[in-house]
């Protein structure tokens, strides 16, 4: 039975929307999901980045595939590298495409190489907002609150994450 995988996509270099589309298309081509849900695209100002860094476009997709979390993670890293993101890089460096595995069904891992669910997912509006578009009622393994509850509990300024497009 296929497992649902949540994947965050972000870009702040070049044609950001085209980068997100190309990343989504590469995920579909490489992983051959049986289904896909796509959240809206949101623009976010960079945090903890160098001065003058372009704002990010962020979204979340959920795919269902018959692969292990490690296999999906390896594919995501390969897609990032194919789109020009170096394997070794400075933290918070600008990027053509950033792919983060957020969750993998009920799978839980504390392995530093692949921690699932993503340990900061519930603190990041730029992830929660597009995820709420597609899975607002989702309760992650090891959590007690839904995605929508986490989003409502954030204390940051909601206007920092602006909807660019509901469909793409």
Give CA–CA dist 87/119, Å, rounded.
21
Which tens digit of pLDDT belongs to each residue from 43-93? Answer: 998 877 777 888 999 999 999 999 999 999 999 999 999 998 766 656 666
What CATH number is associated with residue 68?
Answer: 3.30.70.560
Tell me what percent of the residues of the chain surpass a pLDDT of 90. Answer: 83
Q: Indicate the Cα dihedral angle 36, 37, 41, 44, nearest 10°.
A: -100
Whether the pLDDT of residue 105 is over 70: the answer is: yes
pTM reported for the whole predicted model: 0.94
Whether the pLDDT of residue 135 is over 80: the answer is: yes
What is the per-residue pLDDT for 38?
Answer: 97
Full residue range of the structural domain in which residue 82 is found: 3-165
In the chain, the number of structural domains is 1
Give CA–CA dist 163/42, Å, rounded.
4
């Amino acid at each position: 039975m296929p497992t649902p995988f949540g994947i965050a996509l972000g870009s702040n270099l070049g044609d950001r929307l085209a980068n997100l589309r190309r990343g989504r298309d590469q995920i579909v081509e490489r992983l051959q999901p049986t289904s896909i849900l796509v959240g809206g695209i949101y623009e976010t100002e960079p945090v903890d980045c160098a001065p003058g860094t372009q704002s990010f476009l962020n979204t979340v997709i959920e795919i269902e595939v018959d692969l292990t979390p490690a296999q999906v993670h390896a594919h995501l890293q390969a897609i990032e590298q194919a789109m020009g993101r170096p394997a070794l890089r400075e933290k918070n460096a600008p990027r053509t495409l950033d792919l983060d595995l957020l969750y993998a069904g009920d799978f839980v891992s504390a392995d530093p190489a692949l921690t699932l669910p993503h340990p900061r997912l519930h603190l990041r509006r730029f992830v929660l907002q597009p995820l709420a578009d597609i899975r607002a009622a989702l309760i992650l393994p090891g959590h007690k609150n839904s995605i929508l509850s986490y989003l409502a509990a954030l204390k940051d300024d909601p206007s920092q994450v602006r909807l660019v497009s509901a469909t793409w």
